[in-house]
Chains A and B, each alone.
Chain A
Amino acid sequence: MVLKEQDVIEVKASPKPSKNKRNMKKHLLHLFLLPALFFYVGFQVYPILAAFVNSFYSFKGMVRQDFIGLENFIRLFTEEPFNNIFKNAFWHNIIYFIGTVLTKLVLAFALALLISSRIKGREFFKAVFFMPKLLSVIVVGFLFSLILNPTNGALNSFLKMVGLAEWAHPWLGDPKTALYTIILVNSWYGIGFAILIFLAGLQAIPEEIYEAAKIDGASGFKMLFRITIPMAMPAIMIMTILTFIGSFETFELVFAMQGSSGGPYYSTDVLALFFYRLAFGSVDGGEAIGLGSALAVILFLIICTATAISLFFFKRKEIEQ
């Protein structure tokens, strides 16, 4: 094809936008980010920075007083009853994490495997398992408090009705069962989301790998441990990290079911509840905001450090693979 002179002139006639205009467009796009940035800074960054600053100060009521360095942190770890409550709540957070991994994640992975196989009504099951997530955590907590009520709750009534009266139990009133009961409720609430993440991971595994393994004579069990789990590891890691963060941030469900003191007698107390009591629950303490901020900083550091370490090992493993 031969270009005519006229065509060349037309091409030349549409000049490229100047560099300044291109820059301006770029900046204009940034402008659209400003409202979101404003809210992010106001509601996320500022409170975190404020907590960092407040943790180094003493408070009289709600008014900031003197700079006291690390004293709030030292008191949290050394002074009674703060040190005991901290240790107890921290331990509960660990149990909460392990319990959630063992119940929610293991079950969610099993269900995701089942749904990803060719069973009938897989979309229906996906929707059903995800449904609890549509409810507010507070509503879930309130509903389960009613269901688990020892005298007229649905669970104990059902157990009595089917002849298992001896199994009826004050699930939330017995320190031996209260925390585990909350973990189970949390697992019920969050299992749908975990299933969706695992399903996405499982569906990304190429079918050919399984076919090749089958030709090589691999059993279903072998395929699960040699192909499915290793290849779904990114999804598993992400869910484990999210579960860790969720377990250390857990507040609403425990608060809704057991109140701000994590009763009975701190048997369901977690760090976020302890923080709430320190910072807001007992303004009469007169020194609570500084200590509460110190606890918030510690909580932030625990979550950040654990997440960073997990991500580091996860990335390294990904590179090795």
Chain B
Amino acid sequence: MGRYLRRRLIQLVPLLFGISVVIFGVIQAAPGGPEGSLLAAGRFVDPSVIESYRHRLGVDQPVWRQYLNWLGASARGDLGQSFSTSRPVTAMIGERLPATLELMGVAFVFAALVALPFGLFSALRRYTFADVLGTGASFLGVAMPVFWFGLLLQLIFSVRLGWLPVSGTGTVGASSLGDHLRHLILPGLVLSTRYIAGWSRYFRSSLIGVSHAGFVRTARAKGLTESRVVGVHTVRNALVPVISVMALNVADLFSGAVITETVFAWPGIGRLFVQGMFARDYPLLMGILLMGAATVILFNLVADLLYGALDPRIRYE
């Protein structure tokens, strides 16, 4: 296990290098360059002002030099200074991170709490009307555009029924824990929809696959009760691949959060990214992309390790 982990960590080095080159290259390819945001308003700017601006940002240096500067600083945890606010990017990300983690956490837990029992129910009642209905619902969940689902829920629950707030994290002047939680319901639900659909189907087919296994027949044959056969022998084995997929999906929850946060004005990283995009704040965009990529890599590793930890047949050498 230790050796496997060490090898995986060593493999990460070229991967991270490749990612940093791509991210740096994409931002370098930006039309207009960073001083574009100065000129964006279409006003006349003295060329010497632009020159000193470029110098202050360090973009007057050769490209390879800029890359090495950026890489060296990033490796030390310094993601540079935001163009739009002149504040450290790490501080800006740090401020927004709790909101995103809260939203992603709520969506993840909620999706798991709904998807797993639902998948089990479908597998036990497979090919019944309820199961077919569940399959239909999961197709609907996967095909649902996140932003439209968000708008619909706002329309129904906030505008028409008035039960829940439209957007934001709290009512101004009347914020309390309960109020905050009420703001969390719709975005959390929207973000979790796709995973409820995906995980419940995946758990269902995993359960059905395992239920044909020899050890399940053995468990039945030696006279165990049905609840023991299902609860101990089937469910535990069927959960292994599902848990690993859930870990993998943590990373793409982040992409979903970009849209969800935009629809619900949720002040997290996703919204910060969209704002940074319109402000051409390249250090900020690079920092967020780099952080997103690191999250993907981390949870890929977690998924593999979980698989090994949960399934004793898998040995990492």
A and B physically associate: no
